[in-house]
Amino acid sequence: MRLDKLLANARVGSRKEVGVLIKEGRVMVDGEVVNKPGKKVEEGADLLVDGKALEVKQHVYYLLHKPQGVISATKDRNKTVLDLIRPEDLRKGLFPVGRLDKDTTGFLLLTNDGDLAHRLLSPKRGIEKTYLARLDEDLDEGDIRAFQEGFLLLPEGMVTRPARLEILEKTLGRVTITEGKYHQVKRMFAKRGKEVLQLKRISMGPLKLGDLEEGAYRPLSDEEVDLLKAL
């Protein structure tokens, strides 16, 4: 990978800023000063910036609190989740792991790690995704049983896996599913004659959205990445 891209991915600075660092001779690769931003660097190379060792990671992982009205895509005529990542240099190669509807908010993972994304989205893994759903009508015990038994969704013609519904308030439920069919949570509630007014994903696997503000994002910690890879 290009040296300037590696340093930008490591959040040393923007692509422009790290280019200046390199040209000023402040970056060393495997013991030698490098002043060409475009120099190709192998994974695992020893890097020093201003004399300090830097561990560069090829793959990056961000947890984003997706706002309402933003598209879960890399390109669209409307605002996308990548438009929330600043500076623009950090967006290169990133994509959302799965999708949230335009009007759905909450937990969304962004990465450039295609292998991990594929594993996380594989139905065989059965990774839990949890949502808060505000309904137009009161929830009841019948809803809980129906979610556990599963719903026949068309046109797929498939029955959903058992899902867990917990009633938090009269019209507020916490739903945990292990698959991700198109508009699945909304369609499951529709089968019960209820409309989802608000939907927010609050966790995926072992990771939780927490108190991250809407529209904000943060890099995952090494421990969080390890938890995902262990799923």
Q: Would you name the residues annotated as active-site residues?
A: 101
* Three-class SS state of 48: strand
Number of Cα atoms under 13 Å in the Cβ half of residue 112: 13
The helix, strand and coil proportions of the chain, stated in percent and rounded to the nearest 5, come to 25, 30, 45
* Three-class SS state of 203: strand
Q: Which residue has the tokens 């192998």?
A: 42
Q: Is the peptide bond before 155 cis (omega within 30 degrees of 0)?
A: yes
